[in-house]
Amino acid sequence: MLIRAFDDGIVVVMSDIQPKTVTDSEFNRELVRALDDLKEAARQHGEEIQASIARSDAIHGCRRSGVAVRGWATTNSIVRETPKSYGDSGEDKRLDRVEQRLDRVEQRLDRVEQRLDRVEQRLDRVDHRLDRIEQRFDRVERTLTDISERMATKVELEATQENVKKMADGYMAIGRRLDFVADLLKPRFS
């Protein structure tokens, strides 16, 4: 709604439907009526707040004296964490929906955290397994190194075999010479 006032005392009230021209006195009457309605609504809300506080005080006093049932019977109300809504319930419903959504988000976050904890535990187990595999691999590697250091390679074996053949040929040649020399010495000493 749009309200326009002019110097000549005419006020134009424009609603969503159709503009309406009213005089100053009509406008003032409507304004006073709206303010009266607002004042009455505020008084009613104030009374409801005072009644709620009185009920809370009565229940609190009965609890102190140990007679909570009498306090409930006296006030005819149920103790709540939040007071009963006495105003526009549309806002309260919207806030309730927001709180419910936040609760669902928190529950989802809790589930995600639990899943992450399980994943971390699994990763820890995988890390332990990898450590054991690395230790085994290190032992196998050391064993292979020891074996390679102790065993000769094929080239080394062939070279050694060649040296053995040369030595054998040399012993045979020396043996033949010794036999020849022995044959030469036999007629002289016989």
Domain spans of the chain, in order of start:
2-87, 88-151, 152-190
Across the beta sheet with 19-23, the strand order is 2-5, 10-14, 19-23
How many Å apart are CA 143 and CA 148, to the nearest integer?
A: 9
Q: Which of 8-12, 123-127, 150-154, 172-176 has the highest mean pLDDT?
A: 123-127
For the segment 32-77, what is each residue's pLDDT rounded down to a tens digit?
A: 888 888 888 888 888 888 888 888 777 767 666 655 455 445 555 5
How many Å apart are CA 22 and CA 10, to the nearest integer?
A: 6
**pTM as predicted:** 0.31
* 24 vs 114: which has the higher pLDDT: 114
Question: Do residues 53 and 15 make contact, with C-beta atoms less than 8 angstroms apart?
Answer: no
Residue 80 tokens, joined = 């709540």
Residue 63: helix, strand or coil by DSSP? helix
Q: What is the mean pLDDT of residues 93-103?
A: 86
For the segment 113-156, what is each residue's pLDDT rounded down to a tens digit?
A: 999 999 999 999 999 999 999 999 999 999 998 887 777 677 78
